[in-house]
Amino acid sequence: MKRMLLVGLFALICLAQIFAGGVSEPAKATGGEATAAKALDPNAIDPWIAEKRKAEKPFITSQVRFKGIGGEIPVYDDQLVLTNAEVAKLRAGKFKAAYVDNNTAGEYSLAIIGGARETLKYLGIEMIAETSANFDAGKQKNDVESVLAMKPDLVIGYPVDPTTGAEVFRPVVDAGLTLVIVSNRPHGYTPGKEYVAVSTNNPYDNGWNTAQMMLDAVPADGEIGLILYQDEYFVLNVMDQAVKDCIKQFRPKLTVRTEGYVDWNTAGEKATALMQRYPKIQAMYTTWFDPAMVVASDLKAIERRDVKIYTFGMNTPALLDLLDAKGNIKGLTTDLTWNVGMNTAILAAYGLLKKQAPEMVVVPNAPVTPENLREIWSIAYTNVPLPKEVDDVLKKLGK
């Protein structure tokens, strides 16, 4: 009897310790249980966002080397995160968003929108409108009026240009809505006041890394041509300046010929005119893939397949030319485009939460080669399938 009483007393003590949290050596949690426990930590970084940030870490290699139009100090997006508690609060808010774009054509634009769309959905924010102005400021003004009638809580805006953007997005500001800008900050707007922040790529690295590819392919006594954008478009202007800076630093004695364009459809005419004046040009840079492909086409027409072209950005025609041994495109770089969209959504979340945001957030840049094309596409254009034509050529090349 005494022994039974002692056993019962011991059992009661153990139960009391369990309920009081006093067991000295609890069983170790399994991997799944540990992950669940971490995810429930309200102050921990949301695991989905943490995973997305992990993919871009290998490409963050240098300090950001440019400033925004108004002197904004850009930072990489690796620290732009949300906690589990903040995500839960956003989901409970049932917020609505509208995306007012300057253009939605092509894989590049689709990747940015896809990043924003998927991230907003994850945060429980409904995308109630997506518009495309086709680079027409008048249409974009009408688009803003249309989406405001739908009563969104936030607007992501990609202005056609900084000058018209100030007027176009003023109704959003006057309505007191959360506004996040992609790339083109409207003149006179201040971060934290009219809008939360700017989400963009790193245009300086885009241009700098493209220029380095070109310089690596040109001899010390070589001659190159620069077909530069000559209107106001912030990221394009910064990219072109970075190319000139890179050449000045590493090849100050290189012979450089320049031409400018505003309408990218005329870039080929500018390039061929430059070639006629300076036929010894061995390589050319132009700002992004659209004018680059016009240049490539016109150079082929005058039998100058020997001139190497270097540019920024991925689309199907540029990649097919890159993969063609007889193509003019010999070097491309890309930003992590999907992440630009992801960042706009997270910055919008910062605005809704009244959380202090960086003035400008950028994504890193990566070189594109036939060897790494599949990997880079999957990271940069996450939501856009690799075009079948590109996939077929890669398979033929054994890649």
| pLDDT single digits (tens) 295-309 | 999 999 999 999 999
pLDDT, position 207: 97
Q: Give the model's confidence band at 16: pLDDT under 50 very low, under 70 low, under 90 confident, else very high.
A: very low
Q: Which residue reads 């003590």 in tokens?
A: 13
pLDDT higher than threshold 80 for residue 5: no
Instruction: Tell me what the pLDDT averaged over the chain comes to.
Output: 90
Average pLDDT, integer, range 195-222: 96
Closest to 360 (Cα-Cα) out of 159, 155, 201, 163: 201
C-beta separation of 153 from 168 below 8 A: no
Query: What is the reported pLDDT for 206?
Result: 96
Which CATH code is given to the segment(s) 47-201+337-364?
3.40.50.2300
pLDDT at position 39: 47
Percent of the chain with pLDDT over 70: 90
Contacts of 279 (CB under 8 A, 6+ apart): none
Residue 288 Ramachandran class (φ > 0 left, ψ -120 to 50 alpha, else beta): beta
In sequence order, which residues have a C-beta less than 8 Å from that of residue 147 and are 6 or more positions away? 98, 100, 128, 129, 131, 155
Helix (H) or strand (E) holding 260: strand 255-261
pLDDT grade for 313, boundaries at 50, 70 and 90: very high
- 208: which 2 tokens? 């700098």
Range in 13-27, 96-110, 208-222, 295-309 the model is least confident about: 13-27
- Tell me: pLDDT of 9 over 50: no
pLDDT, tens digit (0-9, with 9 covering 90-100), for 69-125: 889 999 999 999 999 999 999 999 999 999 999 999 899 999 999 999 999 999 999
Domain range 203-335, CATH class: alpha beta
Judge if 47-201+337-364 and 203-335 fold alike in CATH terms: yes
**321: nearest Cα among 333, 303, 334, 308:** 308
| Ordered strands of the 126-132 beta sheet | 74-76, 360-362, 198-200, 178-182, 154-157, 96-101, 126-132
For the cut 80, the answer to whether the pLDDT of residue 23 exceeds it is no
Residue spans per domain, the chain: 47-201+337-364, 203-335
Helix (H, G, I), strand (E, B) or coil at 124: coil
Torsions phi, psi of 332, nearest 5?
Answer: -135, 150
Mean pLDDT of 188-213: 96
Of residues 189 and 29, more confidently modeled? 189
For residues 98 and 122, the answer to whether their CB atoms sit within 8 Å is no
Residues 368, 213: contact at Cβ < 8 Å? no
Confidence band, pLDDT 50/70/90 cuts, at residue 38: low
Per-residue pLDDT at 29 exceeds 60: no
